[in-house]
Chains A and B, each alone.
Chain A
Amino acid sequence: DSGVTQTPKHLITATGQRVTLRCSPRSGDLSVYWYQQSLDQGLQFLIQYYNGEERAKGNILERFSAQQFPDLHSELNLSSLELGDSALYFCASSVGDLRGTDTQYFGPGTRLTVL
C-alpha cells in the first residue's frame, strides 16, 4: 500500500457527462500529480500541484481541470466526456516536486469507462 488513495476505483459514465476523480496524497506529501494511461495515447502526464499551486502542466485537455485543496487532496474534473477519455487515471504524490530527490508514490488508479 503506497499510502495514496484514489476514489472511485471504477467509473462508468456516458459521453457528454462530467466526472470528478479524487486523490488523497500520503501524509506529509505536498505534491500531487495526475497521469492518464490509455491504449491509444499510452502514459501521459496531465498536471502537478505543489502545496495548492499548479506547478507543471502536461497534455491536459481544456475540458479537464484540477485543483489541490488546503488539506492537500486533489480532484481531477473531466467534462464533456468523449469515448477517447476512457482510460486509467493515476494520481501520485511526493514530498517535494520533480526536481527534488523524493520518491513518487502512486495510487491504484481510477478506471474510467465512457460509453
Chain B
Amino acid sequence: AQKVTQAQTEISVVEKEDVTLDCVYETRDTTYYLFWYKQPPSGELVFLIRRNSFDEQNEISGRYSWNFQKSTSSFNFTITASQVVDSAVYFCALSEANRDDKIIFGKGTRLHILP
C-alpha cells in the first residue's frame, strides 16, 4: 500500500538550532518520487524538492538538506541554523509511477521556530 508517515505532529525549536523532520514511506514500486512542500502561516504552498527513487544522493540547498535512504524508506528533511521564517507546516509526499503518478501526502509536521 502507498503510504506516507510523518510521525512528528508538531516540533518547537529555538532559533539557530538544527531540526530534522522525519518522513517514512511505504511503496511496492521500484520507481517512485518523493516530495517536500512547505506551507507557511500565510497559507500558500511552496514546493521544496522532488527526488526520484533512483537518485539516493543527498541534496543540499542553502540551509535545507534532504537525506534519502531507501534501506529505511525514509526521506528526512533537515533545516540547519533555523530561522523564524522557517516556521511552517511541512508536508512529505509520495508518487508511484505504477499508480498513475497519484500523489499521497503525509499529515504534515508543524514546525515552530522560537525567537
State the A residues within 8 Å of B (CB). Answer: 2, 35, 42-45, 48, 55-59, 88, 90, 92, 97-99, 101, 103-106, 108-109
Contacts and interface: CB of A to CB of B under 8 A. Distances in A.
Main secondary structure of the interface of B (DSSP, over half): strand
Interface in B47-71: 47, 50, 52
Interface of B: 33, 37, 43-47, 50, 52, 91, 93, 95, 97, 100-105, 107-108
Contacts, number: 54
Given A42-B108, A43-B91, A43-B108, A97 B45 contact: no
B105 A45 contact: yes
B101 A55 contact: yes
B97 A99 contact: yes
A56 B43 contact: no
